[in-house]
Chains A and B, each alone.
Chain A
Amino acid sequence: MRTSRTVEILVGLFIALGMAAFFMLAMKVSNITDYTENDVYEVKARFDNIGGLKVRSPVRIGGVRIGRVADIRFDDKLLEAVVTLHINRAYSRIPEDSGASIYTAGLLGEQYISLQPGGSEEFLADGGIIVETQSAFVLERMVGKFLIQEAESNGNK
């Protein structure tokens, strides 16, 4: 059996290594850095159909991520989905007549909200609402439409 000092040092080293591994998993691997984004303002947008959009999906403008989807709920009076966006305060000069659409990254990738800047001199502020929205592209619906068109054009022949 080794002397107790060596044992204690080795145990200390073991615990330190374990802590270091946790620290690495927390800081380097997971998205803890995103949780510190407290500096955001809230904007709402209404969509007919949000497709596969999820909470924490990215919000992009010109391809650059400027925020995240914070909340998705269904408004049963207007029968529309209400999406709450948290946008980083660093990007506070977004025209208030900007449009929001739901796009898919790649053919099968995750869905995100893309903002198209408008031309207004006024900017979106906390609690603002994006009026002009475009619903998600739902692949099944497109395929359905295509099949119906195909059937109609065959019937006309």
Chain B
Amino acid sequence: MLDWLQKLGQSGMGMFQHLGQATLFLLQIIISIPTLFRHPRLLVQELYSVGVLSLAIISVSGLTVGMVLGLQMYNTLVDFGTEDSLGPVVALSLVRELGPVLTALLFSGRAGSALTAEIGLMKATDQLSVMEMMAVDPVRRVVVPRFIAGVISMPLLAAMFSAVGILGSYMVGVGMLGVDDGAFWSQMQHKVSLGADVMNGVIKSVVFGIAAVWIAVFEGYQAVPTTEGVSRATTRTVVHTAFAVLGLDFILTAIMFGDS
């Protein structure tokens, strides 16, 4: 019994220690952000590998999710004779929920895991210690550009996901299934509000972006510098990001849309 309690206490303290380290790391990153303005080139390079290279998966998934949503929603709505509201249904689900959440999950799989592996391998091959020897702060040189690139890319990717998804459902709904073109857009414009829906979706994607890259760079930076350690850190990044994003999504949804 006591052994069991001790184990519980140990893992609890370990968890809090981990959280505390992560918070301190985030503070360190935030303090070091101003130095990024001296080296904007680093940011561009990271925007390329984090953002541009994620474009393909984001747009293809957005398109297919939108097409499937259009198809499934149409089958349900047509029973009630309300297939004209396909537009608002698809747009609201994409802009409010699916866009930010799925983008964050894909983003952590595509970019977050790569960030962790990259930073973890830099650590394993002593590149980070070498930088410290040369009086280059690895947080400023390696972590901050990646962090900022992720935070900038996420909302852009989420917006693209939603936009492409809506186009996908337009193609299926109006092109294949014969929903009225005008009703599709006008009902959507009537129901989707810029402040309450689109902006809240953007806020969500920014929060998820911060969570996803924060976890990614922290796990990379804290990785045990061995082959196995890096592979574990990469796995943890994807798993923790999924938990964090889904949990945060519930909290944000309850705050944003709970009272309406």
Contact = CB atoms under 8 A, between A and B. Distances in A.
A153 interface: no
The dominant DSSP class at the B interface is: helix
The dominant DSSP class at the A interface is: helix
Interface residues of A, number: 26
Contacts of B185: 28
A32 B201 CA distance: 16
Given A4-B41, A11-B51, A14-B51, A29 B190 contact: no
Contact of B156 (A4, A10, A14, A32): A14
Interface string A1-39: 000100110110111011111101110111111110000
Interface string B154-195: 011101101110100000000000000000010011111110
A8 to B, nearest CB: 6
B189 A33 contact: yes
How many residues of B sit at the interface, in one of the four size bands? Answer: 20 to 34
Contacts of A14: 47-48, 51-52, 55, 153, 156
A118 B164 CA distance: 48
A30 B47 contact: no
B55 A17 contact: yes
A18 B44 contact: no
B163 A26 contact: no
Contacts of B249: none
B91 interface: yes
B128 interface: no
B163 to A, nearest CB: 4
B197 interface: yes
A15 B191 CA distance: 28
5 contacts: A11-B52, A17-B156, A18-B160, A24-B166, A31-B190
The 3 closest A-B pairs by CB, nearest first: A18-B156, A21-B159, A21-B163
